[in-house]
Structure formats: structure tokens, C-alpha cells
Amino acid sequence: MRLAIYPGTFDPITNGHLDIVERAVQLFDRVTVAVANNSAKMPLFTIAERVDMIRQVTAAFPNVEVDSFTGLLVEYAASRGAQALIRGLRAISDFEYEFQMALVNRKLSNGIATVFLMSHENYTYLNSTIVKEVARFGGEVDSFVSPLVRERLREKFSQHYLKKSE
């Protein structure tokens, strides 16, 4: 069984992320969407909330599972028996960083390949930070995220504004 790990912060998961998942499941027998616990970032959603959202929006894919991890990605991937890491690329600027990470990962673990999947052109501009910014100011995010994620963003930001006004 060929297993690929698609790691990321996914705060929140966007339609661009889902596009990568849809294509990855066609290439691999199983795909694990792995939510990273990145202490350098200040996520809007908890790991449990992100895992739950991803499970719900990927439920239509029987060969997708969702997990979370802390520490080195290659150690996590090796512990799962993965053959590949999936990385999405939107632009040349993504490639420079991802290429460096792929080389470091190869140095740390020879047995795991990195597979780059280009974003669909509809999503080349899209990232989670932009989605959160639009949602924070009440903008429409329907074309960026699933209806479930849109609702979770609305709930999160309505709570945020309620706390500020109290």
C-alpha cells in the first residue's frame, strides 16, 4: 500500500488544500492529512478543531485519514510507513521554500520522497491567512472554503468580537 502524508497547519483547510487532496488520492492508495502542531504559529483553530473540520470535508474520500503530529515531519511519516510527502505549490515563491524543505527531509530520511502538486489555477492566490483576514472583517469566503469551514469561521469570529465588546 502506497501511503502519502499531506502535512500542513490547515488553519483552516481551504478549497486549494482540498484540490491537492483530491489529486493525491488518485496517485496513492492512502493519504493522511496530517495537521502540524507548529509552535511558531498562532492558529485561530485548535488542533482538535482543525482535525474535525478536515475529517468532515474529506469524508467523501474513503482512502483519506486525518491525524495530527508534533515534531519532525519525516519522523512522523516514517512512523506511519509513508512512502511520500505531498506538498502543494501555488507559485515560484512556494517552490524555493518547499525545495529546501524537500532536500532537508531527504537528508534526514532517505526513504521518503516529496511529491509536488501544482495548485489548480483557481487557487493560486489562496491561503489560509487570506481566508481568515477576509472572514475576520465579514467578507464572503464561499469561494475559498467549504460551507462547513465558512460556518466555523463565522462562529470563531463572532466569539472573538463578543469577547472584545464585553
Tell me the DSSP string of 107-163: HH-TT-EEEEEEPPGGGTT--HHHHHHHHHTT---TTTS-HHHHHHHHHHHHHHHHH
**Which residue reads 483576514 in cell numbers?**
133
> How distant, in Å, are the alpha carbons of 33, 78, 99 from that of 73?
12, 9, 15
DSSP annotation of 8 reads: E
Catalytically active residues are 17, 41, 90, 128
